[in-house]
Amino acid sequence: MCGRDARWEIRRGEDGWPSALEELSPPPDRVFGCGDPAALLAPALAVVGARRATPYGLSVAAMAGRVAAECGVAVVSGGAMGCDHAAGLAALAAGGVGVVVSGCGADVVYPESSRDVFEGTVASGGAVISLERWGAPPRRWAFPKRNAVIAALAEVLVVTEAGPRSGTMSTADVAVELGRVIYAIPGSIFSPESAGTNRLIAEGARVIPDEQSLETAISLDFDVARLGVRRSRREGGPIMSALLASPTRPDELATRMGVDVLTIMRTLTEYEARGMAQRLPDGRYSPTEAYLLGHN
């Protein structure tokens, strides 16, 4: 991803130093990076969310990354599994520029499952950066610093899915302290994975109820336009509508809808075969990411 001849360092006060990092207390002394350092100076939106995300959270993160990229706004993420990975990959697929802020050395891919995002970010004109020295392995104390840099570099922070106590929420706390704009995607009140985002909404974060609202908010906050986008419509009946509201077990669906559980199971099996629904490890069924993104 980043050979020795492709590495760079920017010290505080040098040309190319991101002035946004001066707002941190204390500001870092230097940034280590791979890729194009100019990406650090572009108008940027950060997308953060749960590592162990639900299909809903992954879909929301992918939507946020894609819409930002299609609006010409750089997408900042932490490169982690889950929502970070979904947002970064979607931004790259949409032809966008990304900035990955790593908690390891900028030449270290962590986690390995995000290699496509790390390498794709550098290859597409973005940058992978870190406050840690070259070759530094993951250390727990490095990630709060990483989260603060994510919050500082972006003018807007999109919180896609987060529990009440998480690294995502710590990033949001820093963003609030720095006066950044917070977008929060609402989730089911019964989902612990959405408790943090719903709390942010209750505390005054901007609510993003759908893709068009996200597009409008980005357009207004960054003075940009998103052009040439075709929107698709989802198919599905009352069972899919129920699953969109919240992942649910077949027996619970049968009780709520007054339908025989065998009928529910047959329908869910059909939806699985068509890529519309998937069974989660705990036995609940949820819409697939492809269905949520309108790819079916």
pLDDT tens for the chain, 296 residues: list them.
676 668 999 999 999 999 999 999 999 999 999 999 999 999 999 999 999 898 899 999 999 999 999 999 999 999 999 999 999 999 999 999 999 999 999 999 999 999 999 999 999 999 999 999 999 999 989 999 999 999 999 999 999 999 888 889 999 999 999 999 999 999 988 888 899 999 999 999 999 999 989 999 999 999 988 765 555 556 667 888 888 878 889 999 888 888 888 888 988 998 998 888 999 999 999 988 888 877 65
Task: Say whether domain 238-292 belongs to CATH 3.40.50.300.
Answer: no
Q: What is the pTM of this model?
A: 0.80
The predicted pLDDT at position 228 comes to: 54
For residue range 176-197, what is the model confidence (pLDDT) as tens digits? 999 999 999 999 888 888 999 9
CA torsion angle 214 216 222 228 (round to 10): 90
Task: Say whether domain 7-222 belongs to CATH 3.40.50.450.
Answer: yes
- Domain ranges (residues) in the chain: 7-222, 238-292
The contacts of residue 227 (CB under 8 Å, 6+ apart) are none
Contact 88, 79 (CB under 8 A): yes
Q: Which phi-psi region, left, alpha or beta, contains residue 236 (left: φ > 0; alpha: ψ -120 to 50)?
A: left
The predicted pLDDT at position 1 comes to: 65
Question: Distance between CA 58 and CA 88 in Å, rounded?
Answer: 11
Question: Distance between CA 263 and CA 241 in Å, rounded?
Answer: 16
The predicted pLDDT at position 50 comes to: 93
Query: Sign of the CA dihedral 174, 179, 181, 185?
Result: positive
Question: Distance between CA 78 and CA 118 in Å, rounded?
Answer: 10
The residues that bridge with 286 in the sheet, in sequence order, are 278
Token reading at 233: 């419509």
Contact 78, 104 (CB under 8 A): no
Nearest to 203 by CA among 172, 171, 178: 172
Crossing angle of helices 83-93 and 115-123, in 10° steps, is 30
Question: Distance between CA 38 and CA 22 in Å, rounded?
Answer: 17
Question: Distance between CA 109 and CA 102 in Å, rounded?
Answer: 8
For residue range 251-269, what is the model confidence (pLDDT) as tens digits? 998 888 888 888 889 889 9
71 burial level (CB within 10 Å; 0-12, 13-18, 19+): buried
Contact 194, 161 (CB under 8 A): yes
Three-class SS of residue 207? Answer: strand
Token reading at 10: 């920017």
